[in-house]
Structure 1
Amino acid sequence: MTDAVHRFLLENLDIRGTVVRLGPVWHELQARRDSAPPVRDLLGELAAVTAMIGSSLKLPGRLSFQLQGHGPVRMLVMDCDEQLRLRGMAQTREGEAIAAGTVPELLGDGQLVLTLQTDTTPDRPYQSVVPLAGSQLTDIFEHYLAQSEQTPTRILLGADERYACGLLLQKMPEADQRDADGWNRVLHLAATVSAAELALPAETLLGRLFPEETVRLFDPVPVRYHCPRDEEKVLDMLRSLGREEVADILEEHDHILIQDDICNQEYRYGEEVLETLFAPQKRTLH
């Protein structure tokens, strides 16, 4: 099954995990974007790990990961809500060639910014910033989770034009009491997974990876792409500028063009927008 997060438990080892394989959702994230393959694949890996971590959201809200750097790739953004509705984008520096390489080669020195905004405290989002430590995206997120959750974690990620996939494994507190060598054994098995195997259905992948373990696979949770047009939000932003400033922009450019980069959509307005935004409100007589 594509476009779903599968959580599982290695019952005899007290090790939990998450598997994701994005197909059509990943295609929608790529749509109308002409990204170089290294950038596309890095964005796909970010989509996979965001879905896996986002599947643990307990309250309504939004989880966002932003990778910022000074290299050819300026920024990668991916976020999801508690319903695992994804959206994201990549931005590169104009005129710089993009070649396959490590995260430091693509992003340069930079940082990972996590923002968690819940519906209960929308004005007080939680934010965490960590350096881009490591050569791959897996290194960065393993480092982040080790700091934030203090739980030993191993992450595998892979992406191409067809799929964006991931496997996340975490050692629970009682794991050593259950099997002193269990975590090391699981890490050894995980190291054998190829990119092709990572793109297999969850049941097939876990069956091949842990043939001698008792795997409890929970019901899949669907992942969706969700980036609708929000005309009212754009109009509210223009309204906040005031009639005079909007009129000045129209006089200079003949139109107003607003680009929504994360959803890859544009909003274009002509002089008629003045009437839409600033027409006198009709008074109702009682």
Structure 2
Amino acid sequence: MSDSDRLYRFTFENIGIRGNLVHLDATWRAVLGAHPYPDAVRDPLGESLAAVTLLASTIKFEGSLILQAQGKGPIRTLVAQATHEHKVRGLARWDGEVPVAGTLAARFGEGHLALTIERSGAEPYQGIVPLEGADLSAAIERYFVDSEQLPTRLWLTAGENRAAGLLLQRLPGEGLSDDDWARIGMLAGTLTREELTGQSAGDLLYRLFNEESIRLFEPEPIAFRCGCSRTRIEETLKLLGPAEVDDIIAEQGAISVTCEFCNRNYAFDAVDAKQLFAELTRHEPSPSQH
């Protein structure tokens, strides 16, 4: 598809509404390639990836936005992350049979939704709301009403090959009337799952808003990027210290760490551990030096 793995930004001229549209294809399949998910878990995970990509693009920052849904029901944890560079990753954990259809309560049980902004060189900012509503879109919309006081509408869908989403957001201080916001929301409410996943950005926006004045910007590429590395694992092992690392290797023969996001395995044996802490020793100053 010509609009595969693309984020589209658009604005409604003169009425203070902005929008984002995203299609995730190879990016979404890369996430699915790391773990086999049943359809009932796969679809909300894809929706969360589309949502976090849309939401991250509304923030001017250097860092990442993390969407996390946690519950006491069949789906225990759902995590999706998008960076300011449009790199995304995600995973889900579940236990037992997950209902194919139903509300968030049926799939997640009692739980909460958290959105965390991690900025370079700054303390993380997090907002949390109850995980309630018919679907993930409803829970996120509630978050923006309760935590941000920024009216936001979302339409999300996911399947085997594509995850997609549409976001509309009312901009503060732009002179937008309630009637304008209601009209645009009503038009977007006619969107079908098939249109969201199957139509190009231009065709979709024309179908929904052909009587509105819309400015559509150039698309931006989206890609899967895990962010794990052997160096990061090494830094974690250094925090454990040589004695604990040696004990683990003596008991298990090696230390094996598998990234939950991409399923890549990192293995460390006794030789690796010796080199790791030998390098650390060489860089530490002698206590007698001043």
Give the structure-2-normalised TM-score. Answer: 0.89
Give the structure 2 partner of residue 269 of structure 1. 268
Alignment coverage as a number of residue pairs: 276
Give the structure 2 partner of residue 98 of structure 1. 98
Instruction: List 4+ stretches of structure 1 deviating above 6 A.
Output: none
Give the structure 2 partner of residue 154 of structure 1. 153
Give the structure 1 partner of residue 137 of structure 2. 138
Q: CA deviation at 1:279?
A: 2.5
Q: CA deviation at 1:229?
A: 3.9
* Distance in 2, Cα, partners of 1:6 & 1:229: 28
One of 191, 195, 198 as aligned partner of 1:197:
195
Distance 1:271 1:57, change over 3 A: same
* Distance in 2, Cα, partners of 1:32 & 1:77: 14
* Distance in 2, Cα, partners of 1:77 & 1:216: 32
Give the structure 2 partner of residue 109 of structure 1. 110
The one-letter code sitting in structure 2 at the alignment partner of 1:205 is: L
One of 53, 62, 73 as aligned partner of 1:51:
53
Q: CA deviation at 1:49?
A: 0.7
Query: Secondary structure of the equivalent of 1:262?
Result: coil
* Distance in 2, Cα, partners of 1:181 & 1:59: 32
Distance 1:256 1:186, change over 3 A: same
Pairing of 1:167-246 with structure 2 (within 5 A): 167-172=166-171, 173-176=174-177, 181-199=179-197, 200-246=199-245
Once the two structures are overlaid, the 10-residue window that deviates more, 254-263 or 49-58, is 254-263
Give the structure 2 partner of residue 33 of structure 1. 35
**Identity in percent:** 37
Q: CA deviation at 1:55?
A: 0.6
Give the structure 1 partner of residue 4 of structure 2. 2
Mapped contact 1:21–1:201 kept (Cα < 8 A): no
* Distance in 2, Cα, partners of 1:46 & 1:126: 19
Deviation string for 1:240-280 (max 9, x for gaps)?
22222112111211121112212322212222223222237
Superposed CA RMSD: 1.7
The one-letter code sitting in structure 2 at the alignment partner of 1:100 is: V
Give the structure 2 partner of residue 70 of structure 1. 72
Once the two structures are overlaid, the 10-residue window that deviates more, 4-13 or 79-88, is 4-13
Q: CA deviation at 1:62?
A: 1.4
Give the structure 2 partner of residue 120 of structure 1. 121
Query: Secondary structure of the equivalent of 1:204?
Result: helix
Q: Extract unaligned runs of 5+ from structure 2.
A: 284-290
One of 83, 86, 103 as aligned partner of 1:84:
86
* Distance in 2, Cα, partners of 1:213 & 1:230: 47
